[in-house]
Chains A and B, each alone.
Chain A
């Protein structure tokens, strides 16, 4: 081994394909908000081709962690390694072009635009068509077909011409997922994809995530343990910005500390 300080990359051999390769790794990732540590020395490892759940009580730092991973917040310290390269300090749009897509916990759409326009914009992003201020916007129509495919994938094909602002809540969540999927990301981050959904939509979303997960890594946040149990290959439990436990769903579920954390959080029992 040479003493090179740069990341170790195989010279000729491709990395062992399939599961086991970490697509994402954080090293002592920390975020301070004026003295309040929202994310504290988190070491997270997400293997390629797996579904990873991030759970924890409200305010645990899950969304903050997502914002760090996608460049919306800059870490106070620590590293974010995407396929071995440190992406800390990069801007959200740069990270998006590196194959990382996210959905937002609070539905985040263009309310005045139609569904199909949303997907056309998402699909046009890597092509640079958006910079063409002299050509007709009809050129976005080149992405129409793929947009419709994505919309049918999430069950919204019949609403393609509707404005996003007029959708029901569950449908907005579905559109969020379609947008995140549009450019075939290798790392998909979903922040509470099923929050506020009815049971039927929750099950649909579970099936959808299962269907689209092969060939990429998925990290999702969810408070619904049914979702976590049905989807996650591995689970990380965060509390007060720190990793409390890690493992498979069954391991984590029976972990003493996790049980205490959750019982302390949800006041089901009488005081």
Chain B
């Protein structure tokens, strides 16, 4: 009978995700080391700009997971923050000529700034309505960027963003070195996300995700928490978008278009929500796939990624990482029970 409470509409996928896979701390530490090694080795094996794309999209997906997996909010307008930072970073870098990490910081602040009013309006809604408000906002920003062509370059985009790195001028062919110069920014973003979910604040987010009415009855100002995590998430998306635009040397309308919002949600769900790890995995799959398809001259990329998405979601309901984590846990407990001599 108390289903009359106003807050009970939730994003279904988020509600059914486990709060965190309680992998053994030792396994977790080992995985972290492996992940770091992979990230460090990546540009030796993959064309560095593509490796950079994986990290940028991966961090972008982490920012979406913070909302979707840990708070139960589906943002369908995250391109707004990625794109806002891409343009602002590019603008600062071309106009002021500061080192690119400083420009990215500026872009990130801009993304967080516009996230405040967006978040304020969006968190009053839940479920699909929340997604629609965020989408509408991103569309508005797209429209503005298209109109303000003397700043954004309109259809042509903002070109010639330099990769100035504290006195060193990295050029197009230095993408291998740029990868390592930008890596700390990506790791910073991932660290902030991890810190956020493993804080008392992060516990409240899970409570809000699982039962907003109960969280309110306990005295938690649910809307305020949602705005805060929304702004943090926008900041992380901003770090990613800034790295992306400097890496490519330009910012275009592509960064703000709604399919970019869709693509990052796809990556996140593909990798497994509520995990933080999943986003980068999903991003790697999608970016590598698109790269393969593009270099083979195939021009129906959307269809293929869409089909793969459907297959993976049907096969692995918890996404790639969620399924892998369950698998590791099964093997581990299997070994443990064999050790005890169980059947």
A residues contacting B by CB (< 8 A) are 63-64, 67, 70, 72-73, 91-93, 96-97, 101-102, 104-106, 108-113, 117, 120-122, 124-126, 129-137, 139-140, 179, 182-183, 191
> Which chain B residues border A96 with CB–CB below 8 Å?
216-219
> Which chain B residues border A112 with CB–CB below 8 Å?
18-19, 206, 210
A254 CB to nearest chain B CB (Å): 29
Across the interface, do A113 and B19 meet the contact criterion of CB distance under 8 Å?
yes
B173: CB under 8 A from chain A? Answer: no
Interface pairs (13), CB distance under 8 Å: A93-B216, A93-B220, A109-B211, A109-B214, A110-B207, A111-B210, A112-B18, A113-B207, A121-B203, A130-B200, A130-B201, A137-B198, A182-B218
Q: A109-B214, A110-B214 are in contact. Are A130 and B3 (CB under 8 A)?
A: no
A70 CB to nearest chain B CB (Å): 7
Across the interface, do A113 and B206 meet the contact criterion of CB distance under 8 Å?
yes
- 7 tightest CB-CB pairs across the interface, nearest first? A133-B201, A96-B219, A125-B219, A92-B216, A130-B204, A112-B19, A110-B210
Across the interface, do B3 and A131 meet the contact criterion of CB distance under 8 Å?
no
Across the interface, do A121 and B204 meet the contact criterion of CB distance under 8 Å?
yes
User: What 16 additional pairs, Cβ within 8 angstroms, besides A101-B217, A112-B19, A121-B203?
Assistant: A64-B4, A72-B216, A73-B4, A93-B216, A93-B222, A96-B216, A102-B217, A108-B214, A125-B218, A126-B219, A130-B200, A133-B199, A135-B200, A136-B198, A139-B200, A183-B219
Partner of B200, one of A64, A70, A101, A129: A129
B298 CB to nearest chain A CB (Å): 42
| CB neighbors of A among B197-233 (8 A) | 198-204, 206-207, 210-211, 213-214, 216-222, 225, 228, 232
B2: CB under 8 A from chain A? Answer: yes
Residue of A nearest to B196 (CB): A133
B224 CB to nearest chain A CB (Å): 8
> Which chain B residues border A104 with CB–CB below 8 Å?
2, 213-214, 217
User: In the complex, what distance in Å separates the CA atom of A63 from the CA atom of B3?
Assistant: 10
B residues contacting A by CB (< 8 A) are 1-6, 18-19, 195-196, 198-204, 206-207, 210-211, 213-214, 216-222, 225, 228, 232
Residue of A nearest to B195 (CB): A134
Cross-chain pair count, CB within 8 angstroms: 116
A155 CB to nearest chain B CB (Å): 21
User: In the complex, what distance in Å separates the CA atom of A138 from the CA atom of B195?
Assistant: 12
Across the interface, do A133 and B19 meet the contact criterion of CB distance under 8 Å?
no
Q: A133-B196, A136-B198 are in contact. Are A93 and B214 (CB under 8 A)?
A: no
A127 CB to nearest chain B CB (Å): 9
A243 CB to nearest chain B CB (Å): 20
User: In the complex, what distance in Å separates the CA atom of A112 from the CA atom of B70?
Assistant: 12
> Which chain B residues border A135 with CB–CB below 8 Å?
199-200
Residue of B nearest to A38 (CB): B4
Residue of A nearest to B216 (CB): A92
User: In the complex, what distance in Å separates the CA atom of A191 from the CA atom of B217?
Assistant: 13
Partner of B213, one of A72, A121, A124: A72
> Which chain B residues border A140 with CB–CB below 8 Å?
200, 203
Across the interface, do A133 and B202 meet the contact criterion of CB distance under 8 Å?
yes
User: In the complex, what distance in Å separates the CA atom of A73 from the CA atom of B232?
Assistant: 30
Across the interface, do A106 and B1 meet the contact criterion of CB distance under 8 Å?
yes
